Amino acid sequence: MCRLFALSSRDPVSPMRAIEALNVMKEGHDGSGVGLFLHDLGGPFAETKDAPILSGIFTEDGLKRLDAFMDERGFVTKATLVLDPRTKTPEGTPIRGVYMARAYEIPADLKAASKAERELTYMAIRVALRLTGEERDDIRVFSFWPDTIMVKEVGDPLTVAEYLGLDRPELFARRILAQGRQNTNYAINLYACHPFFLQGVCTMTNGENTAFIPIKEYLLSRGFAGYMGYQSDSEVFAHIMHFTLSRLGLGIEYYKHVITPLSDTEMEGHPDRALLGRIKQTCRKLIIDGPNCVIGCLPEGTMFMVQDRKKLRPGVVGGHDGIFAFSSEICGLDAAIPDRDPRADVQPMHLDTAIVRPECQEVTLCNQLQSLPRPH
């Protein structure tokens, strides 16, 4: 089973803190891969918060094609971080090329465009790069978004982290999602490695999504270029969150109502039953059936954890003012934030969404039976 670990901190922290927490939970995962999402960066990239950063792995030919591709679109390189391997290639980890994060100056016409248009362009470029890279196996791109870096590779998380030298200031971040396993139910593929990213929304999941195929078919038919990929059945959780936020204009409190709606009986006495009934009806194809624990980060830095309706996966949230962590197991939490009060730890149950806002002051539990903020 996957092991997940996420950190939300007021001050930037090293990704190794999350990787070490994953390592503590090693007994529970097979160490077959690592995926990292780093947002709200603290190193040199912090000076260019608005510049989109492209994260991925490139062969030499891939780099040449990338440069031509970006030049053609008027994007100019602003800063580049190359992760040079520092140790011998770990067993089972292929030699793929250059691990790179590159910030770009965007063209003038895009600067003048609306935020939504810019965000759509970033997504379109990422998808186009991914597709062209898949044709020749020379470009793998995980994110193209301001203030965001992603790293993915096959192998034991700690070994890969040391191999890539992830303990460097450029990678210090306030929001970190880390996952320690490759997909086991479908083909091994870096694009199947969590976390999954789309337009600032990033989620990772533990467990298997038994309702994957109907959900995937539904998302694919929404006519949105970003709803693609699906090498992993967990990718849909990120896309459903994106759909909830951007297509439906609903906040994080509504996410769980989309994926695990209340039963009709529970809904009867709910103050927002008309709205919840409508969500349940119209988003029926997005209902998940577990067993899943989903941890994610929203574009503005809010982090959350939700469980499936049957609460068949572990998950705990804890920390103290300034830093909070979301973990599959308490031992991971103990390793990352030993100085917290464990009595204040929260294990979200089948109706809960645990939320930590970017201010990192507290864990808020949002129960599905509570009334909801009005939709935008």
Partner 1 sequence: MQSTAVITPSTLSVVDLPWQVEWNKDTCTLCGRCTSVCPVSAIELGVFRKRSVEATIALQKKPTNSYSIYYGIRQRTDPAYRCIGCGMCNMVCPNNAIAPRLRPEATTLKFHNNRGGAARTRGGRRNDTGSLLDQIKFIRISMLTDPALDAGRHEFELRTLLGRVLPPEDGLAALADNAWVPAVREIYPLMIGSMSFGALSPNMWEGLVMGVSYLNEELGMPVRMCTGEGGCPPRLLRSRFLKYMVLQIASGYFGWDEIIKALPDMKEDPCAIEIKYGQGAKPGDGGLLMWYKVNKLIAAIRGVPQGVSLPSPPTHQTQYSIEESVAKMIQSMSMAWGFRVPVYPKISGTTTSTAVLNNLVRNPYAAGLAIDGEDGGTGAAYNVSMNHMGHPIATNLRDCYENLCIAGKQNEIPLIAGGGIGKNGNLAANAAALIMLGASAVQSGKYIMQAAAGCLGSEHDRCNVCNIGVCPKGITSQDPRLYRRLDPELVAERLVDVFLSFDTELRKIVAPLGRSTSLPVGMSDALGIGDYHAANRLKIKYVV
Binding site for partner 1 (CB under 8 A): 184-185, 207-208, 210-214, 217-218, 220-223, 243, 247-250, 260, 263-264, 274-275, 278-279, 281-285, 287-291, 308-310, 312, 375
82 or 213: CB nearest partner 1: 213
261 or 318: CB nearest partner 1: 261
Write down the least CB distance from residue 252 to partner 1, Å. 16
96 or 181: CB nearest partner 1: 181
174 or 280: CB nearest partner 1: 280
Position of tokens 């191999």? 163
How far are the Cα atoms of 8, 11, 143, 214 from residue 288, in angstroms, in the given order?
26, 35, 25, 10
- Residue 40 structure tokens: 């709200």
Write down the least CB distance from residue 237 to partner 1, Å. 14
293 or 305: CB nearest partner 1: 293
Q: Nearest CA to 158 among 59, 62, 17? A: 17
Q: Nearest CA to 200 among 309, 22, 361, 358? A: 358
Contact 270, 262 (CB under 8 A): yes
Write down the least CB distance from residue 304 to partner 1, Å. 20
Distance separating alpha carbons of residues 18 and 37, to the nearest angstrom:
11
Crossing angle for the helix pair 273-282 and 252-259, to the nearest 10 degrees? 60
End-to-end Cα spacing for the chain: 37
- 3-class DSSP assignment, residue 369: coil
Distance separating alpha carbons of residues 64 and 58, to the nearest angstrom:
9
7 or 240: CB nearest partner 1: 240
Write down the least CB distance from residue 273 to partner 1, Å. 11
64 or 278: CB nearest partner 1: 278
Write down the least CB distance from residue 47 to partner 1, Å. 38
Distance of alpha carbon 136 from the chain centroid: 26
Contact 194, 204 (CB under 8 A): yes
Write down the least CB distance from residue 342 to partner 1, Å. 27
H/E element holding 298?
Answer: none
Position of tokens 């009595």? 343
Write down the least CB distance from residue 375 to partner 1, Å. 7
- 3-class DSSP assignment, residue 243: helix
221 or 367: CB nearest partner 1: 221
Contacts of 7 (CB under 8 A, 6+ apart): 13, 17, 18, 175, 176, 323, 324, 325, 326, 336
Write down the least CB distance from residue 309 to partner 1, Å. 5
Distance separating alpha carbons of residues 86 and 166, to the nearest angstrom:
10
Write down the least CB distance from residue 333 to partner 1, Å. 24
149 or 211: CB nearest partner 1: 211
